Amino acid sequence: MSDIRVTIWNEFRHEKSHEEVRKVYPEGIHEALAQALRQHDDLSVRTAWLDQPENGLTAEVLSDTDVLLWWGHMAHQEVADEVVDRVHQAVLNGMGLIPLHSAHYSKIFRRLMGTSCSLNWREADDKERLWVIAPSHPLAAGLPPYFELPAEEMYGEFFDIPAPDELVLVSWFTGGEVFRSGCCYNRGHGRIFYFRPGHETYPTYYDANVLRILTNAIHWCAPTPEAAARKFGNTPPVEDVK
């Protein structure tokens, strides 16, 4: 089996404007993730970010991507609609997508879900415990029954998403909330895994369990050979889907 081609997309703004964030992710969230994922021989990893031409996601980049990770927060509206169209079409054609944390409010995730994707939240250093509720799922491979993040932003229900095709993780927060934190979706020929943790001020993306999940997710989201073949034009155009 050939390498899985991974593109890590990051908004890459907080890291430039907030000293607090830069301390945690000096080269950006994307680079921290890339360094970890490059440890895996079967992954071929590149990065892209908002302020590149075409938001870093040209047709060429997407046609060369099997799985796209997406972190965004303060500048969702600056992602060009034509880039969103292109990513949307790529997912329906088979590309995997892994929206991270505040990407719940990204244009592309909302487009794919069809709902508001709103939720309750609080910045207060809650402790988060993530429970595996689907132990037979490949997403849960290598995980203990639960694991903890000592401090994180709280996201709470009601999370306005379609019921996931498979729900793998449910979070508990100190303050009294629960959240569907690991959500699998199939859309078109593509797969989506929404993963909750990862506020920019916490070292979440250095956590071994988090990295294990993301690695599992990349494998789960990677298109099968046929879905990959479908990426090169043999599905009907859906460019007018809004």
Contact 99, 106 (CB under 8 A): yes
Q: Which is nearer to its own copies, 121 or 206 (CB)?
A: 121
Q: Which is nearer to its own copies, 31 or 178 (CB)?
A: 178
In the complex, least distance from residue 198 CB atom to its own copies, rounded to whole angstroms: 20
111 lies in the binding site for its own copies (CB under 8 A): yes
Question: Can you list the alpha helix ranges (DSSP code H) found in the chain?
Answer: 14-17, 19-24, 29-37, 59-63, 81-92, 107-113, 208-221, 225-230
Among 90, 121, 102, 110, smallest CA distance to 227 is for 90
Distance, in Å, from the CA atom of 90 to the CA atom of 135, rounded to the nearest integer, reads 30
Q: Both tokens of residue 220?
A: 């789960």
Q: How far is CA 17 from the centre of its chain?
A: 22
| Interaction mask 118-157, its own copies, x per CB under 8 A | x----------x-xxxxxxxx-xxxx-xx---------xx
Residue 17 touching its own copies (CB under 8 A): no
The residue ranges that bind its own copies (CB under 8 A) are 77, 81, 84, 92, 94, 107, 110-118, 129, 131-138, 140-143, 145-146, 156-160, 162-163, 165-167, 170-173, 176-178, 180, 185-191, 223-227, 230, 235-236, 238, 240-242
